[in-house]
Structure 1
Amino acid sequence: MALTATGIGSGLDISTIVKVLVDAEKLPKEAIFNRTEDRINAKVSAIGTLKSALSNFQDAAKKLQSGELLSQRKVSTGDSPYFTAKASSLAQSGSYSIKVEQLAQAHKVGGAHVTDPKAAVGEGSLDFSINGENFSVGVDPADDLYAIAAKVNSASDNSGVVATVVKSDAGSQIVFSSAKTGLDNQISVVANDIAGTGLNDMFNGTNLNTLVDAKNSIIEVDGQKLTSQSNSVTDAIAGITLDLTKADLNSTSTLTVEQDNEAVKENLKSFVETYNSLLTSIEKLSSYDADKKTAAALQGDSMIRSLESQLRNMVSERVSVDGSNVALYDIGLSTDRYGKLNIDEAKLDESIANNMSSIEGLFSTPSTGLANRFDELANNYVKTGGVIDNRKNSYTEETKRLTLQRESFSLKMAQLESRLLKQFNAMDLVVAQLNQQSAGLVDRLNSLPGAVSKN
């Protein structure tokens, strides 16, 4: 490759001159590109922050949609070892005396014991029946206890039988257990041999032993007896689930149910906090600093102005509840001049204690309840294909266009640099030639007769 030296003929620093000329054209435009890129990135970051705040607010609103968290109950069992209890919003306040007479048990039966669990059993099938449902498992001549158990457990129509190989001092046996407790879920097994009597010898008649009897649970609630298939009793007291853990007919436990006012209040406070946090985010993202004369990324943005307007309108609206119009102010939540919610503790406590139906209706009424409307509003923004998604897509397209503009401009600047270098080098060559001609002319003049050289 030929070496090119620039500026030899003219003595000019051509590379520097060209760089200065190109930079004079390039730097202002690149500054515009950089500012545009920074603006887009700031907006993308801002709508990400907005989406996060909206999602948190939506989560808080969703918790109040069904009313479950606005009509919570707390239960006390007095540290009873016989059961635990959970209450839904349907549970009514009250006190109940409870005895657990018997726990429900799952039926278990075991086949005859064998010395080698890996020995083949026979050929045929095992027919199972449990709670009115039947299924059958084929047994191949080479199947051992483990293979039979695996076939039972993997049967597509298995209606609730679990097979396990158990080893004891008496030998190994297959144990068939009902997946559910109660008398209705007793297991019936019939063995059908195709060849020999191996299956019958293991599973039929007296060869199939009951290991655990099926039992229903039995409890007494205020002296009234109730039998259940399960140890999880849901129909003894409306809205209460009792999970039985121990039986003793001679012991009585007391179950107390009451409204959990503190839990309701905390859920409402959480809603207020996330709402105010959302407004704070909106304020920061759309603010203008008059002292620094700088605007936030979404200052003046129609999307965020519309969202803020809708939020403020909703918190001031009234909801029809049992023929009356109820607003947040009526239960102790009011807005300040910035649109944020304040809590009147005394008024809220009174509403929770004496007017829970209004609170539930205000938030949880289908379609018109505030929780449902806030959830719908937030979802319009944060869902896939929603307002924020569409805005983000527009920024992505803007970034693509900016990238193309940068590439086109870079090519243009490269061409400008090449053209200027070519022009200056051509000029430098001309200057070098002129200098050579000038030097030659001086030499010839100096060589003329009578010429005197002046030092």
Structure 2
Amino acid sequence: MPLITQAGIGSGLDLEQIIEASVQAENAPKMQSFIQRDERLQVELSSIGAVKSALSQLKDTIEKLADPENFNKRLADISQPASGDIISVSPSSDISPGNFNVEVQQLAQGSRAMSGAGAFADNTSVVSASGGTLSFAAGDKSFDLTLDAGATLSDLRDAINNSDANFGVTANIINTGSEAKLVLTSSETGVGNDLVITNDNAELDAVSTIANGGGAGGMSIAAGDEAKDAKITVDGIEIVNDSNVFKDAVQGMTITAKQVSAAGESADINVSVDRESVTKLVDKLIEDYNNLVGTIAYHTSYDEERQVGLRGDATMRSLSDQLVSVLSSELTDAGPFTSIFDIGLGVDKKGYLEKSSIVRSLNEAMDTNYDDIGKAFAGENGVAKKLDELLGSFVDSGGILKTREQDINNQIDELEDDVLDHQYRMGELETRLRKQYSNLDVLLAQMSSTQQYLGAQLASLPGFTSGKSSS
């Protein structure tokens, strides 16, 4: 008998449907269980991710509140004179608030050297027929420059300006109409830092301030073009500096002189604590803390219309309890503040942080004990440092939520392997059923063939008649 390639062809029975129904009966409940488990894991993973994101955002703000420098910032308000801006200032956290009057008497300048009369006809004039080396120095800075034989005045200018070793000497050529003059300007300011140029070849004396054999060279610094100090007065006290930047002329503040004061004019500086930046930080703390509280509530509270990934989760309960505990912790070394609730913060019935004035407002606390607010948050026993440690235990590498995410991802990977294993088993089941039903199909087909054969043989026997009678 030929091979039967489709179940039921030999017997006429719908064996394909029987096989499919048998496999589906075994497969459907298990696959539904896999799908439900995957959905639960994905929802839980998404919820953990949302809480971790809110925690990280809060931690960023807490890190700023834990930094004492953010409570020590200073603002400097400058009233410039009518003639224009004569100074700029940069206060540090070391300066005490106060008022200062500043006058600029003299700006610092570098020296300016010029070649002598009749030294060069024009910019193509040869500086040295045989070449040589020029050495430039001002204060503690120096560099050397080697010229080729036949170098012109223009070649010298370009070599100075393009030298990588140049500490701040600028070369220019001024054409008077009858001659060319080399002008060298040094950026090194301060009395005693005049530009000095020496050489190793007397042919270069015309572009040096000191001749090769000693004595004056052809370049000279005119009266008034020498390097100078800057001079300012602060509250009538004269201060001299070799540059226009006066660091700690007033302790903790840098004053930069920009132009000389007009007669009788000065600038007034008012230095105050930067209360606005602290207020913004506290507002951001409230915003980020409440975002975390709301995120935890959303992902743990019962909702019949959606899956809740962390409903009844012990980790979330522990986190919420620890947050409240740290916020309520007792402060030390923070002046009159025994907790952050003493500086104008409070917690409502739902656990959200808010500004409150039951004890005192934040502005009142700043008015009376500004420095202690910084200690309340960023002190050794400050709330921000405790919160930062707590949040880090959840979101840092190796933290609770990081580990939780990894565990869920591992479960999802294992579930994918379980699905593949199950699909393999279902394939094996279908193969086994097809083999069993194929044998049945062959058997039934053989029986049908035998029945037909016997019927034909009986019909051919003499005197054999069918069971039907003629009417």
Alignment of 1:120-139 (within 5 A): 131-132=139-140
Give the letter aligned to residue 39 of structure 1. Answer: R
> Retained in 1: the 8 A contact 2:346–2:355?
yes
Give the letter aligned to residue 84 of structure 1. Answer: S
Give the letter aligned to residue 279 of structure 1. Answer: V
User: Hey, what's the Cα distance between the residues in 1 that align with 2:307 and 2:21?
Assistant: 34
Counterparts in 2 of 1:322 and 1:417: CA distance versus 1, 3 Å:
closer
Matched position secondary structure for 2:349: coil
User: Hey, what's the Cα distance between the residues in 2 that align with 1:15 and 1:121?
Assistant: 108
Is 1:303 the counterpart of 2:303 in the alignment?
A: no
> Retained in 2: the 8 A contact 1:75–1:255?
yes
Is 1:356 the counterpart of 2:360 in the alignment?
A: no
Is 1:378 the counterpart of 2:391 in the alignment?
A: yes
User: Hey, what's the Cα distance between the residues in 2 that align with 1:383 and 1:184?
Assistant: 56
Within the candidate set 293, 302, 319, 1:288 is matched to: 302
Please report the TM-score for the alignment, with normalisation by the length of structure 2.
0.77
Matched position secondary structure for 1:326: coil
Is 1:340 the counterpart of 2:372 in the alignment?
A: no
Alignment of 1:139-218 (within 5 A): 152-153=163-164, 161-162=167-168, 178=187, 182=190, 190-192=198-200, 205=210, 206=217, 214-218=227-231
Counterparts in 2 of 1:55 and 1:443: CA distance versus 1, 3 Å:
same
- Identity fraction in percent: 29
Aligned residue pairs, count: 441
Give the letter aligned to residue 267 of structure 1. Answer: L
> Retained in 2: the 8 A contact 1:91–1:239?
yes
Alignment of 1:14-413 (within 5 A): 14-78=15-79, 81-105=85-109, 115=124, 131-132=139-140, 152-153=163-164, 161-162=167-168, 178=187, 182=190, 190-192=198-200, 205=210, 206=217, 214-250=227-263, 251-289=265-303, 291-292=304-305, 296-321=308-333, 326-345=338-357, 347-366=361-380, 368-413=381-426
Q: Cα offset for 1:353?
A: 0.9
Counterparts in 2 of 1:381 and 1:98: CA distance versus 1, 3 Å:
same
Give the letter aligned to residue 416 of structure 2. Answer: T
Within the candidate set 458, 461, 471, 1:445 is matched to: 458
> Retained in 2: the 8 A contact 1:145–1:173?
no
Q: Cα offset for 1:380?
A: 2.7
1:294-352 deviation per Cα after TM superposition (whole angstroms, max 9, x unaligned)? 66323333433332222111111121126756211211112223332221256222111
> Retained in 1: the 8 A contact 2:328–2:340?
yes
Within the candidate set 437, 448, 452, 1:424 is matched to: 437
Counterparts in 2 of 1:34 and 1:191: CA distance versus 1, 3 Å:
farther
User: Hey, what's the Cα distance between the residues in 1 that align with 2:60 and 2:192?
Assistant: 42
Give the letter aligned to residue 336 of structure 1. Answer: D
- The alignment yields a C-alpha RMSD, in angstroms, of 4.1
* Worse overlay, 265-274 or 88-97: 88-97
Matched position secondary structure for 2:35: helix
Give the letter aligned to residue 102 of structure 2. Answer: I
* Worse overlay, 368-377 or 132-141: 132-141
User: Hey, what's the Cα distance between the residues in 2 that align with 1:167 and 1:381?
Assistant: 68
User: Hey, what's the Cα distance between the residues in 2 that align with 1:402 and 1:422?
Assistant: 30
> Retained in 2: the 8 A contact 1:137–1:151?
no
> Retained in 1: the 8 A contact 2:145–2:160?
no
Q: Cα offset for 1:52?
A: 1.9
Is 1:6 the counterpart of 2:7 in the alignment?
A: yes
User: Hey, what's the Cα distance between the residues in 2 that align with 1:140 and 1:424?
Assistant: 103
Please report the TM-score for the alignment, with normalisation by the length of structure 1.
0.80
Q: Which has the larger radius of gyration?
A: 2
Counterparts in 2 of 1:263 and 1:402: CA distance versus 1, 3 Å:
same
> Retained in 2: the 8 A contact 1:286–1:295?
no
Matched position secondary structure for 1:321: coil
Q: Cα offset for 1:363?
A: 0.9
User: Hey, what's the Cα distance between the residues in 2 that align with 1:150 and 1:395?
Assistant: 65
> Retained in 2: the 8 A contact 1:116–1:172?
no
Counterparts in 2 of 1:152 and 1:183: CA distance versus 1, 3 Å:
farther
> Retained in 1: the 8 A contact 2:95–2:251?
yes
Q: Cα offset for 1:149?
A: 6.6
Counterparts in 2 of 1:59 and 1:445: CA distance versus 1, 3 Å:
same
User: Hey, what's the Cα distance between the residues in 1 that align with 2:330 and 2:30?
Assistant: 55
Counterparts in 2 of 1:448 and 1:97: CA distance versus 1, 3 Å:
same
Partner of residue 214, structure 2: none
Give the letter aligned to residue 287 of structure 1. Answer: S
User: Hey, what's the Cα distance between the residues in 2 that align with 1:23 and 1:150?
Assistant: 87
Counterparts in 2 of 1:274 and 1:424: CA distance versus 1, 3 Å:
same
> Retained in 1: the 8 A contact 2:123–2:173?
no
Counterparts in 2 of 1:74 and 1:416: CA distance versus 1, 3 Å:
same
User: Hey, what's the Cα distance between the residues in 2 that align with 1:432 and 1:379?
Assistant: 74
* Worse overlay, 380-389 or 123-132: 123-132
User: Hey, what's the Cα distance between the residues in 2 that align with 1:108 and 1:423?
Assistant: 108
User: Hey, what's the Cα distance between the residues in 1 that align with 2:409 and 2:197?
Assistant: 66
> Retained in 1: the 8 A contact 2:109–2:228?
yes
> Retained in 1: the 8 A contact 2:71–2:371?
no
User: Hey, what's the Cα distance between the residues in 2 that align with 1:90 and 1:451?
Assistant: 128
User: Hey, what's the Cα distance between the residues in 2 that align with 1:110 and 1:400?
Assistant: 80
1:245-289 deviation per Cα after TM superposition (whole angstroms, max 9, x unaligned)? 333242312222234444432322222222222222222233223
User: Hey, what's the Cα distance between the residues in 1 that align with 2:403 and 2:459?
Assistant: 83
Matched position secondary structure for 1:76: strand
User: Hey, what's the Cα distance between the residues in 1 that align with 2:370 and 2:129?
Assistant: 66
User: Hey, what's the Cα distance between the residues in 2 that align with 1:32 and 1:109?
Assistant: 91
> Retained in 2: the 8 A contact 1:54–1:278?
yes
Give the letter aligned to residue 441 of structure 1. Answer: L
User: Hey, what's the Cα distance between the residues in 2 that align with 1:432 and 1:146?
Assistant: 111
